Amino acid sequence: MKFSKLRQLMLVSAIGLVVATLFSGCQLVTIDFLFVATSASTISGSSTTCPNGAIETYAVDSESGAIRTGAPQVCSGGTTPVALAISPGYANLYVANQVNMNIVHFAVADNGVLTMKDSVTLAAAPVAMAVSPDGNTLYVVSGTTSATLSAYTLSSGAIGSAATTVSLTIPGYATDLMVPTGVTVLASGNAVYATAYDLSAYNPGGTTTSTATPGWVFGFATGSGGALTPTPGSPYNAGVKPSALTADPTNRFVYVTDFASNQLIGYGIYTGYTLSYLVNGPYKSGGEPAAVAIDPRGKFMYVSNSLDSTVTAYVIDLPTGTPSTAVNTTGSQTNTTDTQPVAVAVDPALGRFVYTANYLGNSVSGFQLNPTSGALKQTQATPYPTGQHPMAVVMVPHGNHSTQVVTP
């Protein structure tokens, strides 16, 4: 009798252990928060209505990379948010609203909740932003026909005044109409680079009045108090219509996407933070590349192609900076997204997932990143619906993942 009861007890305990194991295995563990800027939010059941612009928050599952609605959405503080930037330490989020010509600062809580703090109004529409590694400066490119790079002071995340403002003009063509497209700052904080194209020289469907080379990247060495000093030889040729740029985490290379020529241009960074073409470039991309991102290891690079609705994946040769032939698990050159991906981000916690904001698809597409090969495969249930016309995406590590270091 006692033996029988003992067996029953052991059986019940075993069943309980199995059930507990299965339950814990089904629990969702958030590895990152993903923030998406949309022109109007359509999240069902939300208590906040944002008809002109919203920042939507999603939680990334650590195992599958699938995303689900996270903290409540917030209004962007203006109309048509076009860019997002996150501070070092991931405590502050900055949103650029095109129509209102303002930048709004949000505090980021540990649970992904956003709280509006302050804002600054610009003289022209903002286009792109980057935060310095020390968190003391916000770099902004703005303008629709006259390109400007401004360095705004930051104090505990709060936006101060513009310490420095420089015009992005081409030597010998000072009156040409310039359109800024992107900005990035080195991981060292010692230099910042901005892209722009000459609307007077490149104007599809319209007239041109200039013989200047259309595409350019401008380099500036940074100094105390937000000082910006042009690097030797700046500006540098950057194809026809540069659309975005990024720098690798070792401060040795800069990469620019050329929207009009369907290519990626690589530069080496040399003495004085000058740029010089990588010898075997440029590199083929998909149709109309719109955004570029490098994984935290500095090994892989991903370009979202807005015309093809794809992501091109590259392996970066660390000694030379050369992006290899595109990689993909199926052997093809691309990875399919929803319609018109205009932004791309790699998860900063462990560098295991890649996401695109799809402007016409009203969605986010997700991919799992193979940390050995750099190849991508779609995450479960991708694409994920968002509000209308998502334009930008940034990511923040969740919990103790933010303390894990991934180095190139």
Is residue 315 in some structural domain?
yes
pLDDT one-digit tens code per residue, 271-303: 999 999 998 999 999 999 999 999 999 999 999
Is residue 21 in some structural domain?
no
Is residue 154 in some structural domain?
yes
CA distance linking residue 65 with residue 75, whole number of Å: 26
Q: Which residue matches tokens 């992107």?
A: 182
Is residue 312 in some structural domain?
yes
pLDDT at 42: 62
pTM (predicted TM-score)? 0.90
Domain containing 273: what range? 83-383
pLDDT at 23: 35
CA distance linking residue 97 with residue 37, whole number of Å: 10
Is residue 13 in some structural domain?
no
The encoded tokens of residue 92 equal 């502050």
CATH at 369: 2.130.10.10
Domain count, the chain: 1
pLDDT at 44: 54
How many other CB atoms are found less than 10 A from the CB of residue 10? Answer: 10
pLDDT at 277: 98
pLDDT at 252: 97
Q: Which residue matches tokens 């997932």?
A: 353
Is residue 396 in some structural domain?
no
CA distance linking residue 284 with residue 265, whole number of Å: 9
Whether residue 301 contacts residue 293, with contact meaning beta carbons closer than 8 Å, is answered with yes
pLDDT at 16: 39
Is residue 300 in some structural domain?
yes
Is residue 361 in some structural domain?
yes
pLDDT at 324: 87
| Residue ranges of the chain whose pLDDT lies below 70 | 1-28, 42-48, 325-334, 400-408
Handedness of CA 274, 193, 281, 268 (dihedral sign): positive
CA distance linking residue 181 with residue 241, whole number of Å: 9
